Amino acid sequence: MPVEYEIKVEAEQEDYHGNVSAIDDATDRENEQWITDELNRGNDLAWCSVLVYAKIDGFEGWDSLGGVSCRNQADLDEVIESHDMRGEALADLKRRLLAVEGESKAQILAARKALKALEGNES
């Protein structure tokens, strides 16, 4: 059963003014203006958050990155790849599966103990 990956792009909740770059005032203003112009053109990737989900058999893990600014889908794909977001989502999925497995084992042991205690209480 293969792992399925889902990518969601959402509007970044953090204001981009003052958060785009920390190079110098002129560069910051230039980058902020670019984002403003791109958002006005409908480029939702200009200032966004990215979530990557790894899913298998009803379980999921995820990774997220905010403050992302991309010109196009190819740029976004590069951001996802360079930050190994699929790998991080997969690692989170594995952690979650191990946690469920541990919880299940604990529940099975508790159920066995309770059943054993009931054996002595049967009328």
Per-residue model confidence as pLDDT tens digits over 36-93? 999 999 999 999 999 999 999 999 999 999 999 999 999 999 999 999 999 999 999 9
d(CA 61, CA 108): 24
Q: How many CB atoms lie within 10 A of CB 63?
A: 21
- Mean of all residue pLDDT scores within the chain: 92
Q: Are 14 and 67 in contact (CB under 8 A)?
A: yes
Look at the alpha carbons of 31, 32, 37, 41 in this order and tell me if their dihedral is positive or negative: positive
Q: Read off φ and ψ for residue 92, nearest 5 degrees.
A: -65, -40
d(CA 30, CA 35): 9
Q: Read off φ and ψ for residue 41, nearest 5 degrees.
A: -80, -5
Those residues with Cβ within 8 angstroms of residue 99's Cβ, 6 or more apart along the chain or in another chain: none
Does the pLDDT value for residue 122 go beyond 70?
no
Q: What is the pTM of this model?
A: 0.81
Does the pLDDT value for residue 104 go beyond 80?
yes
Does the pLDDT value for residue 1 go beyond 90?
no
Tell me the sheet residues that pair with 60.
Answer: 55
